[in-house]
């Protein structure tokens, strides 16, 4: 099931985006950042996979939800990063890392202050074709 590997797509698209790279560098990690990672950095995690099964029990497409978490020291910087992440992922489609992505679209976003940093969350739904 390719949906379980969606993190590879998200990381690739974020690393390829010059605006994200300019703001974050290579500080993009799955689920949790290594200790002592300096701000700003990004985390990505798969939160839900919904296969679209047919009568013959095959899933020709999967819907995957991914949350990108942006951690910054300052609010304005966090807004710049969340905007860049949106531009890097929204509406993207194609084959990335051997995974056929039908479309990526934002479905939710929120923010908070925690442990002396600003945290932005942006949630995407990724439609994957399993052919």
Do the Cβ atoms of 59 and 117 come closer than 8 Å? Answer: no
| Cβ neighbour number for residue 120 with a 10 Å cutoff | 23
- Helix locations, the chain, DSSP H: 6-16, 18-24, 75-89
At 17-68, the pLDDT tens digits run 999 999 999 999 999 999 999 999 999 999 998 877 666 666 678 899 999 9
Do the Cβ atoms of 33 and 41 come closer than 8 Å? Answer: yes
Pick 4 or 89 by higher pLDDT: 89
pLDDT of residue 117: 94
pLDDT of residue 53: 67
pLDDT of residue 34: 94
At 88-122, the pLDDT tens digits run 999 999 999 999 999 999 999 999 999 899 999 99
Name the token pair of 96: 């990335």
pLDDT of residue 130: 83
Longest dimension (CA), the chain: 52
pLDDT of residue 59: 62
Beta bridge partners of 46: 66
Grouping H, G, I as helix, E, B as strand and the rest as coil, residue 74 is coil
Beta bridge partners of 120: 70, 111
pLDDT of residue 16: 96
Please state, in angstroms and as integers, the Cα–Cα distance from residue 23 to each residue in 16, 39, 40, 66, 73, following that order: 13, 10, 8, 21, 12
| Distance (Å, whole) CA 84 – CA 82 | 5
């Amino acid at each position: 099931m390719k949906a379980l590997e969606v993190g590879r797509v998200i990381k690739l698209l974020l690393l390829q985006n010059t605006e994200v790279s300019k703001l974050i560098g290579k500080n993009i990690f799955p689920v949790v950042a290594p200790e002592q990672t300096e701000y700003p950095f990004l985390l990505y995690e798969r939160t839900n996979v919904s296969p679209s099964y047919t009568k013959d029990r095959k899933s020709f497409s999967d819907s995957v939800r991914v949350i990108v978490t942006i951690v910054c020291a300052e609010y304005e910087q966090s807004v710049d990063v969340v905007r860049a992440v949106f531009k890097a992922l929204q509406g993207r489609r194609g084959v990335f890392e051997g995974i056929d992505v039908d479309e990526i679209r934002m479905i939710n976003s929120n923010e908070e202050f925690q442990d002396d940093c600003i945290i932005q969350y942006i949630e995407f739904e990724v439609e994957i074709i399993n052919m």
